[in-house]
Amino acid sequence: MTDKLKPCPFCNGEVINYHIEHLDLNHRRFDYRCEICGAYFSLQGKGKYISAEKTEKQAIEMFNRRADNDRI
């Protein structure tokens, strides 16, 4: 797993994290936006009493998942 976001799946532009919201002790929402096309992605990391860094890694892993991940 990497801590770096893949490019936008629509235009291949750079995606930035522009907002993190702590919903409660178990959930954090991470909002990402493409710098080129403006596509907006909102992902939620969750886990009871785990760090913000770990939930952000979960969100990045979800964002980076693509339909062709298992193809050779």
pLDDT of residue 27: 76
pLDDT of residue 18: 75
**36, part of any domain:** yes
**1, part of any domain:** no
Q: Long-range contacts made by residues 12-20, C-beta under 8 angstroms, separation at least 24?
A: 12/36, 13/37, 15/41, 15/63, 17/56, 20/52, 20/56
pTM, two decimal places: 0.71
pLDDT of residue 49: 67
pLDDT of residue 34: 95
pLDDT of residue 33: 93
- Per the structure, the count of domains in the chain is 1
**20, part of any domain:** yes
Q: Report helix, strand or coil for 46.
A: strand
Range of the domain at 42: 15-64
Q: Could you tell me the mean pLDDT of each successive run of 10 residues in the chain, 72 residues long?
A: 83 88 76 93 74 78 81 57
Helix segments in the chain, DSSP class H: 52-64
**10, part of any domain:** no
Task: Select from 3, 55, 5, 65 the least CA-distant residue to 26.
Answer: 55
**72, part of any domain:** no
Task: Select from 70, 59, 3 the least CA-distant residue to 27.
Answer: 59
**46, part of any domain:** yes
